[in-house]
Amino acid sequence: MPKLDKNVVAIMDAALENACRVLRHGGDHETREFVARKLKVNAAKGNTTFEGLSDVASRAVEELLKSKPLHHAEPEAKSRLS
């Protein structure tokens, strides 16, 4: 995987934090790692905008919430996902 420049890494970090806000305590290590892997793969393919990476991160969180019990989400997030 090619090395990503510091600006792209900062965008990835912001997208990760933004997407994980719906998770209790910002998500556990495993959850955040899953989202971060999705971000790295997409950034390496050239998706380096905040909007694009935010979409990737949000979809990854939604994927996890569908496969895991919703007790990981904050109460207001559960209502948005229903």
pLDDT at 3: 84
CA distance 37 to 57: 10
**33 within domain boundaries:** yes
**25 within domain boundaries:** yes
Name the β-bridge partners of 73.
23
**1 within domain boundaries:** no
How many angstroms separate the most distant Cα atoms in the chain?
39
Number of domains in the chain: 1
**44 within domain boundaries:** yes
Which token pair is 76? 């207001």
* Residue 34 half-sphere exposure toward CB, CA atoms < 13 A: 17
pLDDT at 67: 87
Task: Write out the residue range of the structural domain in which residue 50 sits.
Answer: 6-81
Give the residue ranges of the chain where pLDDT is below 50.
71, 75-76, 78-82
